[in-house]
Amino acid sequence: MKWSEIFTSSVGKKWIIALTGLFLITFLIVHAGLNACIWVNDGGTMFNAGAHFMGSTVVIRIVEVGLMLGFVLHIVQGIMLEIQNRRTRKIGYAVAMGNKGSKWYSRSMGLLGTLILIFLVIHLSHFWIPNRSNQGWLLGEEINLYERMKITFQELWVVIVYVVGCISLAWHLLHGFQSAFRTIGVTNKKYLKMLNALGTGFSIIVPFVFALMPISFYLGWIK
Ligand code: HEM
């Protein structure tokens, strides 16, 4: 494959989607871990200290630019691959395979990705955008993110949007996690079996932990 084909061939696109996907998975682990401090139930002291570290450290703010770039590349290449696949599918099979060929969520990565994107836009407008605009371009005063969460998650419709976002994330990861390793060339059956099990656990536990956050605030489990 030529360098120029990284963005245009379907193999190149799959590689970019896989590598950015794995990077985004590591982000999810850090994000869920830091957010889990809300359950210390100390009025947000520990969570806000962690959030302050993430929001006021220059190196992490530079990594944040990489994160946003990772999201953009993952989404753009995902959309392009989906369009390409739809075009070939039109020529495609005489008989639809349904669930025999693949799971429904493997065939619905575009739809699930779109739901996550809608969730992400709403989510960033709740916390990240107000926080960064309050801070100014670099390292000014941050907002109290814990208090902001408490207020945001008083509304049932917001909690529902977050839970639907997390369920979409779970289905998306259920295919994406193991698919990324196949794309980058893991072919060993034993390793693939292990990665499948790990991916299934990750795809259920991490979105479940995320979904529990707005629910915990809404139900008053944390003050
Ligand atoms: C459902 C429970 C979640 C809660 C309560 C939550 C909470 C937060 C908060 C408070 C921030 C602001 C951080 C800051 O401004 O420094 C944030 C940032 C962010 N969240 Fe979430 N989040 C959740 C789930 C997710 C999920 C599932 C994703 C991805 C699919 C996600 C992606 C992001 C991104 C990209 C940022 C900006 C990261 C940055 O600071 O650079 N979040 N989240």
Give the model's pLDDT for residue 205.
Answer: 98
Residue 136 — very low, low, confident or very high, per pLDDT cuts 50/70/90? Answer: confident
Q: Is residue 100 part of a domain?
A: no
Residue 189 — very low, low, confident or very high, per pLDDT cuts 50/70/90? Answer: very high
Q: How many domains does the chain have?
A: 1
Please name the residues in contact with 28: beta carbons below 8 A apart, sequence gap of 6 or more: 206
Give the model's pLDDT for residue 28.
Answer: 98
Q: Is residue 96 part of a domain?
A: no
Residue 10 — very low, low, confident or very high, per pLDDT cuts 50/70/90? Answer: confident
Q: Is residue 54 part of a domain?
A: yes
**φ, ψ for residue 52, nearest 5 deg:** -65, -40
Residue 76 — very low, low, confident or very high, per pLDDT cuts 50/70/90? Answer: very high
Tens digit of each residue's pLDDT (9 = 90 or more) over 170-182: 999 999 999 999 9
Tens digit of each residue's pLDDT (9 = 90 or more) over 110-122: 999 999 999 999 9
Q: Is residue 98 part of a domain?
A: no
The rounded Å distance from CA 126 to ligand 1 centre is 9
* CATH code, 186: 1.20.1300.10
Q: Is residue 91 part of a domain?
A: no
- Taking the mean position of all CA atoms in its chain, how far away is CA 172? 9
Structure tokens at 77: 């290449």
Ligand 1 pocket, CB under 6 A:
31, 35, 51, 54-55, 64, 67, 116, 120, 123, 127-128, 131, 145, 149, 162, 166, 169, 210, 213-214
Q: Is residue 93 part of a domain?
A: no
Q: Is residue 142 part of a domain?
A: yes
31 closest CA partner among 170, 209, 216: 209
Helix (H, G, I), strand (E, B) or coil at 131: helix
Residue 178: give the domain boundaries: 3-85+105-218
